[in-house]
Structure 1
Amino acid sequence: MLRRRLIAVFALLVPIVAVAVFFLTRSSPDPADDTFARYAAAWSGGDDRAAAALTDQPKAAQTRLAASRKGLDGAKVKATVRSVTEKDDAATATLAVAWDIPRIGSWTYRVKVPAQRVKDVWQVHWRPADLHPRLTAATRLGTSVKAPSRGRIDDRQGRALMAERSVTAIDVDTSRVKDATDTAQRLAELTDVDADELEQKISAAGKGHFVPVVTLRKAAYDKVAAKLQKIPGASTAPGSEPLAPTKDFARALLGAVGPATAEQVEKSGGRLAAGDAVGQWGLQAAFDQQLAGTETRSVVLRDVEDGVVEKTLRRWRGKQASNLKTTLDLDVQRAAEQALGTTKKKVALVALQPSTGDVLAVANRPSDSTLDRALTGLYPPGSTFKVVTTTALLRDGLSVDKTVPCPQNEVVDGRSFKNFEGEAAGPVPFRTDFAQSCNTAFISLASRLSQTALPDTAKDFGLGESLKLGLPVADAKVPEGDSQVARAAMMIGQDRIVASPLNMAGVAGTVAAGRWHSPRLLDDDPKQSGPRIAQASTLRDLMRAVVTSGTGTALASLPGFVAGKSGTAEYGGGDPPPTHAWFIAFRDDLAVAVLVENGRAGGEVAAPIAARFLAGI
């Protein structure tokens, strides 16, 4: 009886146990699934060692996993198991692989990864194709970046101001250096590099390295090529770089191209990497993306031995660079550079076309400075501002034939003003006061003008307008004078009045054209003009007299109708205070402004530069 009961109970338990085993088996992870999941997780987490440990060739797998991650520029990967098929002691997983590659972005594909069970333990069967279906034992993953040829900066006629030109890089191959001091000194004599600094770099580099020395333009290299070959360790490599016709040519304006700095890389939002060629200042920096275009980037298979690209797996095509067309004129710019010469003084010259406002030339010295004082420097304009002052006086009814005495001193509310050299022309017509730039005569007329007369008139000459040229420019400031003394000083371009050489070239251009035209630097800059200046004809005659019989006789021998105005602008303290030298001029449809910092008198220092410039056109 008991036996029959036990048999019955057992009969009831068998199906229950069977069902339990069935459900427990279904709910527990399959060992192959588990291995694939751990492999994918370790690979995704960057733990190549852990991923490799799950394979049947841990050392080989770890080496190849790390090599491909490095080859993809340190990319991050996310591997996800999509499906697993299992039969007996073999299994295959389909992995969805998504790489996030620096400067390239997302690259996705699927790969089949096999596994086999050995002594009840599943192992991924390692082979290069586990990383990518087209990988072999002889290849690895890598990237390739090809930049388009950089765009040119052109002048108004499409002539290249800055384009790819031949250069030769000079390096030192330390493995061939016998005496670091000798090599450094001989290279310094040929290339003007610092011998001591170069010697230190050579010694610090050790054998078997290349030390950069300098990159020379073709003409400069050709002069020293034969001597370079005789220097132990000297090595040369031809190439090309975006360059202007000469080293000095519009350097502060055009800019230069060089390796991206850490700061530029950080600010680029992933567009740049260390060492990329990028505009460093000027137009090259302001329009870098247009001039550089975008790189064509690829994921490739490279030979594991020599790194040569064997096959392209995926390509992201870049955008071709485009040229930048400016309003500059190659010939006018050359004349500007020749007029400034090789001086180390702080000098700026701006030339523009009065009828359009097109900027034709921008030159600065010293040429090794990246400061574009021609466009961004603000200085008291001194007597060049008398063009504006005279316009306001003419509008108030002053006749140029009216006798306006030019005494040695003029006192306003207790402040004594004098002429630059302390001269006194006596009672002369106003036209003579203008030609001779008599400060005291102008100051004596200050009471004729309202507080707003000079700021309002200045706006008709573009002084006070907000200028937009695609790169930083300074705006002139002509505030209202807040006292009798201030308004007296404003009559001769002093007090708080400041302007740039670009601004003052615009003043000369306004007289020449009869109205102000907003300066334009790029071919597609908007056009803007001011009201017509009814007094322009009279101003032309007055400025012509400056050249024929006044402070601008340095230009008297030039052909054509040449007119101008000198300026000697005081700044800072001292007795007498230091001065900047100015001269503005025009001939036909060309206007120019010259500034020489600490240049003393405009007629003596700045006018000859303007004369050389106009003579060179």
Structure 2
Amino acid sequence: MTNRRVGRRRRWPAVAVTGVLVAGAAGWAVGFGPLRPGGAGEEAPQVADPAAVRAAESFLQSWAAGDWAGAARLTDSPAKAEQTLRNFTAGLEITKPVLTAAGATRTEGGNGATVPYTAKLPVAGLGTWSYGSELGVDRTDAGWRVRWELSLVHPKLTEKEKFRLVEEESAELAAVDRDGAPISAAAHPSLISVLGLGGGKPRGEVQVVDRVTGEVRSTAVRFGPAAGEGGGPVRTTIDARVQRAADRALARHAQGRNAGLVALRIDSGEVVAVANGPAAGFNRAFQGTYAPGSTWKVLTSAALLRKGAVTPSTVVDCPKYLTVGKQFHNVETSEIRGATFREDFIHSCNTAFVALRGKLGNGEVTTFAQEYFGIGGPEWKTGIGSVDARVPVPADETEKAAALFGQGRLRTNPLTMASVTATAVSGRFHQPLLVKGTEQERIATKELPERVVGQLRSLMRDTVTDGSATVLKGVPGEVGAKTGTAEVTEDGNNNGWLVAHDGEIAIACVVEEAKSGSGSAGPVIRDVLAEVAAAR
């Protein structure tokens, strides 16, 4: 139950904020480095002129340091940019924000660049606001300039809408699992931060409101406990046994690294477990923004198979290298001569997927993700704050090639990838749900053909028995999976991914600073599925 009164240990007024990247003081951290397009050590697609990248980096550095005037001078609209950036300081207490720029890609003609970045904004006393955006850089008579657009600050910022922060404090929160049994913080430590078990915890949300009327249009992010209805406990879809298994597996295998996991029912989309590492930290499972690496091949394979562009037996060679504006290669420059698409999938061959880029239109994966997987349309409403995936149309052929195996400007999280897995192996999208009674906007999607579903299930099963996910081979049942290793920066460690299903639940896990998906996320999911199977 949540106390809706405004009284709390620290009273902040509701504040209208005309932007998002808010800095009460200097001290922002900006990370740079190419986001390399694969889980195999590939470099990122680069612009023709490195000066474009330097201009983008200088803009982000000035912005992060609170040098609004300096950042504005690097845009093509200095007056508007400075006014907007200065307004971002109002009303929010941001401590040590982090901006991480990914690899720049050429714009058409090679005269500009698009630079995606991820913002992680710790809002004092509430949590971290995490989202992704991008900025454009163009060559002008005065040199390289950032193309000023409100959406570069946040995708939801427009001339008609702005942001407002509203805070309150929760009362003692009671919550129950899917069967109506009480959920305890002691038994389910991850749910302390996810749901806000206990009491006296701050909660709030950043709302998107009409600039003139103040009418709330949507919610950018929610923080803190969920609200109970009618004075009763929060009714969740959590399965206590799966949640316990997830908490234990992450504690055992994440080894102090940041991690997130979501498990949901394939037949309904109901979330049965959500866990994070550390348990009391940021809810990466629902609010993280990650490149999904090769786990995204589940969706791109669905697109290729539905279109009839390939079958599992189609020969799609897997060379060591393939050049599309730059050179792509596989893990340790491996190759499979005369490979079939089945072999490409189960061994996660990046160059084979690059070679298939001409089989899909430039924006076809973006459209396919929305029409069949519910990604990119109406916002998902789970009952707590979550960040929707981003599947942008590729800027060029190099980015298109990278996106086919889960890199480039794609941004997902374990919630998204668990849903992708459930949709792929059932053929039907069900909007994920954690808090029962949450009002959800209907998301109209198409069903995948039975032929495609059967092929995907077979490919994922073969990945466990003969491919890169043999870490799950000993789990009882017809378990299917897909591994992924997503590189983050040129010199940093990878993010390790694994998605899997056992016919009843779909599960996705990401572990940061990992060497591979099978080696980091694999043991986590293995233990969860094995414990669930033993309890059936």
Q: How would you bin the TM-score normalised by the shorter chain?
A: 0.5 to 0.7
Shift of residue 250 of structure 1? 2.3
TM-score (norm 2): 0.60
Q: 1:317 aligns to what?
A: none
Q: Distance in 2 between matches of 1:595 and 1:350?
A: 10
CA–CA separation in structure 2 for the residues paired with 1:524 and 1:283: 19
Aligned residues: 338
Alignment-derived partner of residue 268 in structure 2? 356
Deviation at 1:529, TM superposition (A): 6.1
- 2 CA distance for matches of 1:604 and 1:260? 36
Structure 1: unaligned runs, 5 residues or longer: 1-147, 163-243, 265-280, 292-319
Counterpart code for 2:465: T
Judging by fraction of residues, say which structure has more helix. Answer: 1
Paired with 1:447 and 1:247, the residues of 2 have a C-alpha distance of 47
Matched, 1:377 2:288: yes
Aligned residues of 1:504 and 1:593 also touching (Cα < 8 A): yes
Once residues 431 and 345 of structure 2 are traced to their aligned partners in structure 1, the CA distance between those partners, rounded to angstroms, is: 26
Q: Which residue of 1 aligns with 2:437?
A: 524
Q: Is the 8 A contact 1:350 1:592 kept in 2?
A: yes
User: 1:252: which partner in 2?
Assistant: 193
The offset of 1:383, in angstroms, is 0.3
2: CA distance between counterparts of 1:607 and 1:400?
A: 24
* 1:158 maps to 2:208: no
Paired residues of 1:581 and 1:597 also in contact (CA < 8 A): yes
Matched, 1:550 2:467: yes
Q: Which residue of 2 aligns with 1:461?
A: 373
Query: How far does the alpha carbon of each residue in 1:561-588 deviate from its partner, in whole angstroms, 9 at most, with x for none?
Result: 10010001112223xx531100000012
1: distance between equivalents of 2:427 and 2:188?
37
Aligned position for 2:530 = 615
1:254, CA displacement in angstroms?
Answer: 2.2
| Match of residue 418 from structure 2 | 505
Taking structure 1 as reference, are residues 249 and 282 closer, same or farther at Cα in structure 2, changes over 3 Å only? farther
SS in 2 for 1:572: coil
Once residues 287 and 477 of structure 2 are traced to their aligned partners in structure 1, the CA distance between those partners, rounded to angstroms, is: 31
Match of 2:388 in 1: 475
Deviation at 1:422, TM superposition (A): 1.8
The alpha-carbon deviation at position 447 of structure 1 amounts to: 1.4
**Equivalent AA in structure 1 for residue 516 of structure 2:** A
Q: TM-score, normalised by structure 1?
A: 0.52
Contact 2:302 2:424 in 1 (8 A): no
> Aligned equivalents of 2:409 and 2:387: distance in 1?
15
**Correspondence for 1:325:** 235
> Which residue in 2 is equivalent to 1:37?
none
Partner SS, residue 225 of structure 2 = helix
Write the mapping of 1:65-464 to structure 2, written as runs, cut at 5 A: 150=172, 152-162=174-184, 244-246=185-187, 248-259=189-200, 285-287=225-227, 290=228, 321-342=231-252, 343-369=255-281, 371-397=282-308, 398-413=310-325, 415-459=326-370, 460-464=372-376
Report the Cα distance in structure 1 between the residues aligned to 2:250 and 2:337, rounded to whole angstroms: 37
| Counterparts in 2 of 1:364 and 1:447: CA distance versus 1, 3 Å | same
Q: Distance in 2 between matches of 1:443 and 1:361?
A: 34
Aligned partners of 1:506 and 1:591 also within 8 Å: yes
Q: Deviations over 1:141-199 (max 9, x none)?
A: xxxxxxx994520011001113xxxxxxxxxxxxxxxxxxxxxxxxxxxxxxxxxxxxx
Separation (CA, whole Å) in 2 of partners of 1:517 and 1:598: 31
Which amino acid in the other structure matches residue 264 of structure 2? L
Shift, 1:403, TM fit: 0.9
Q: Secondary structure at the match of 2:513?
A: coil
Secondary structure of the 1:482 match is coil
Deviations 1:309-366 (A, max 9, x none): xxxxxxxxxxx83111011111110111121125311111100001100000000011
RMSD of aligned Cα (Å): 2.3
Answer whether contact 2:196 2:226 (CA < 8 A) is retained.
no
Q: 1:583 to 1:529 in 2, by over 3 A?
A: farther
Q: Distance in 2 between matches of 1:431 and 1:286?
A: 43
Q: CA deviation at 1:603?
A: 1.6
**Secondary structure of 2:338's aligned partner:** strand
> Between the two proteins, what is the percent identity of the paired residues?
35
For residues 171 and 328 of structure 2, what CA distance do their matches in structure 1 show? Answer: 60
Equivalents in 1 of 2:359, 2:376: separation in Å? Answer: 22
Give the distance between the partners of 1:247 and 1:360, measured in 2 at CA: 12
List gaps (5 residues or longer) in structure 2.
1-169, 205-220
